[in-house]
Amino acid sequence: MLKTLKSYISLNEILAIEIYFVSGDRFFNTLLIKKISIGEPSKIKEFSNFDSFIEELTLHEGKIPNMHYIIMDSELGNNHLPPISIEECIKKIFELKIEKQIIILDSSIQSQKKVNLSNLVYIPKNDNSYKRIEQIIFTTHNDFQIITRKKANKIIFINTAIIIFIIITFLIFYIFTYL
């Protein structure tokens, strides 16, 4: 019980942001990584292969929650053998039990129509993509931290109330037994 309580107390710390760039376009990735600036502690990893990215992501299942931001190129599947659609890539990511926000960089104009999920965003792939990515990360990470802290505070409150109840019960029992 104390170990669980300690892990929830540690959730009140600032959670690290983990950003994964998954794209075969190394030039665009390099520019994007250099332009993105986030004030929170973050880890940025770059993948040119979808399979190695999925292997890395499965390592995080079931651990203390961090928010994972996955920035994928819509044309990533063209580099995969055999070719895989971006929808299949997204489906594989959603099968994992981790907190995630997926950002698809799409060079086609029709990109906005595809899927309407709260943690999946299509943005145009251009020189200003980094600004939109920073905005998405800032907003969703703040929301994620608030929800995580509320959950941790609720569990701490319940555990503290139980401990206080046990102490009061013991004191009442002690008073009636010896007085």
156-177 pLDDT, tens digit per residue, is 899 899 999 999 999 999 998 8
In the prediction, which pLDDT does 125 show? Answer: 80
Only one residue has tokens 């004191």, namely 171
In the prediction, which pLDDT does 139 show? Answer: 81
User: Is residue 121 domain-resident?
Assistant: yes
* Token couple for 149: 């802290």
User: Is residue 156 domain-resident?
Assistant: no
Residue 25, phi then psi, degrees to nearest 5: -90, 85
In the prediction, which pLDDT does 166 show? Answer: 95
Q: Residue 130 — very low, low, confident or very high, per pLDDT cuts 50/70/90?
A: confident
- The CATH number linked to 28 is 3.40.50.2300
Q: Which domain holds residue 104?
A: 15-151
User: Is residue 98 domain-resident?
Assistant: yes
In the prediction, which pLDDT does 161 show? Answer: 93
User: Is residue 117 domain-resident?
Assistant: yes
User: Is residue 7 domain-resident?
Assistant: no
Of 116 and 44, the one with more pLDDT = 44
Q: 9-49 pLDDT, tens per residue? A: 555 555 667 788 888 777 777 777 777 777 666 778 888 77
* Token couple for 128: 């200003």
Residue 160, phi then psi, degrees to nearest 5: -65, -40
In the prediction, which pLDDT does 4 show? Answer: 55
User: Is residue 110 domain-resident?
Assistant: yes
CA distance 141 to 139: 6
In the chain, the number of structural domains is 1
Q: For 14, which DSSP code?
A: P
Does this model's pTM top 0.75? My answer is: no
